[in-house]
Amino acid sequence: MWRERKQLQVSPRQAAFLRRRKIRKYTVLGVQIALLIGFFALWEIAANKQWIDPFLCSQPTEIWATAKEMAQNGMLWQHIGVTLSETVIGFLLGTLIGTLLAILLWWNHFICDVAEPYLVVLNALPKTALAPIIIVWLGNGQTSIIVVALLTSVVVTIMTVLNGFLQVDDEMRKLVRVFGGNKWQVLQKVVFPANIPCIVNALKINVGLSFVGVIVGEFLVAQAGLGFLIIYGSQVFKLSWVLMSVVILAILAALLYEAIALLEKQILKKRM
């Protein structure tokens, strides 16, 4: 017990380093919050002073009043729920299918070599350009929107995860082989565990991509969702609806990203 306490003691230099690190962390957070508050304050002042046209640019107090009114009648929660559910389903399916296809390509080098140029082309192709075709094929509904969201993320996931699989240390794979392990055991014991952070990172990327896919789909076919609010608000010149939806999208994207970052921390703790 005495030895454990002695090991836990922190030297003065280490304590000073940890203190500086904590101060820097809170300083960065404070500056970030101050910049955000300053942006909205400047926006409000500019609208009140007529430096910008409040009709075209709206203002934070108007956006807040609109959000409050729509929240009270339940309309806002309906639109948020629709967009959020479509996005979560889209990026989870994109990550799952992309990871499974990456495993297939890692497993079979012939298929990987054949698919490589197609993956490069598909990655460069704007997937949202396929949205009208998907809607014609699958109909005017939520399924089409989810598929568009899936397509925006699946190719990036394949390439990200496959690259991680291919970069696993050869010595580790050879070690499993030496002890009689087969290819499945190499994947299970070495390749996949080593790439869990890579898969989580793909989740982080897919959050933003899926939001793009969902909003584009909602622009075209939806009768509900934040994308529908944006396109409808712009058509009837309710710019407060448009900007409120954009702000909510930013908040949702940040919350989902932080949730995945928290999941990553929990996974790393378990692995340690």
What pLDDT does 33 receive? 92
Contacts 24+ apart (CB under 8 A), 189-197: 191/106, 191/165, 192/103, 193/271, 194/164, 194/168, 194/169, 195/161, 195/164, 195/165, 195/168, 196/267, 196/271, 197/264, 197/267, 197/268
Please give the single-letter amino acid code of residue 52: I
DSSP H helical ranges for 128-238: 131-138, 142-166, 170-178, 183-186, 192-194, 196-221, 226-235
Distance of CA 176 to CAs 103, 109, 171, 189, 198, Å?
Answer: 18, 19, 9, 8, 22
pTM score, whole prediction: 0.81
Rg of the chain in Å (alpha carbons): 24
Mean pLDDT over 93-107 rounds to 90
The answer for 217, left when phi > 0, alpha when psi is -120 to 50, beta otherwise, is alpha
Q: Does residue 5 have a pLDDT over 60?
A: no
What pLDDT does 101 receive? 92
Q: Does residue 4 have a pLDDT over 80?
A: no
Mean pLDDT computed over every residue of the chain: 83
The residue with greater pLDDT, 172 or 91, is: 91
Mean pLDDT over 85-91 rounds to 88
What is the SS3 assignment for 167? coil
CATH code, residues 59-271? 1.10.3720.10
Q: How far is Cα 210 from Cα 231, in angstroms, rounded to an integer?
A: 18
What pLDDT does 8 receive? 53
Please name the residues in contact with 169: beta carbons below 8 A apart, sequence gap of 6 or more: 194
What pLDDT does 31 receive? 92
pLDDT digits (tens, 9 = 90+) for 48-84: 888 888 888 888 898 898 888 888 888 889 889 989 9
Q: How far is Cα 247 from Cα 73, in angstroms, rounded to an integer?
A: 19
Residue in 25, 155, 146 with CA at minimum distance from that of residue 83: 146
3-state DSSP helix/strand/coil % of the chain, to nearest 5 = 85, 0, 15
Lowest-pLDDT choice from 2-16, 45-59, 126-140: 2-16
Q: Does residue 12 have a pLDDT over 80?
A: no
For the chain, the structural domain boundaries read 2-52, 59-271
What pLDDT does 35 receive? 93
When pLDDT is cut at 50, 70 and 90, the band that residue 171 belongs to is confident
What pLDDT does 10 receive? 66
Q: How far is Cα 174 from Cα 220, in angstroms, rounded to an integer?
A: 51
Give 74's DSSP letter.
T
C-alpha of 19 from chain center: 32
Q: How far is Cα 191 from Cα 176, in angstroms, rounded to an integer?
A: 11
When pLDDT is cut at 50, 70 and 90, the band that residue 208 belongs to is confident
Please name the residues in contact with 238: beta carbons below 8 A apart, sequence gap of 6 or more: 232
Mean pLDDT over 107-111 rounds to 87
Mean pLDDT over 187-206 rounds to 83
Tokens coding 201: 């990172």
Q: Does residue 115 have a pLDDT over 90?
A: no
What pLDDT does 272 receive? 63
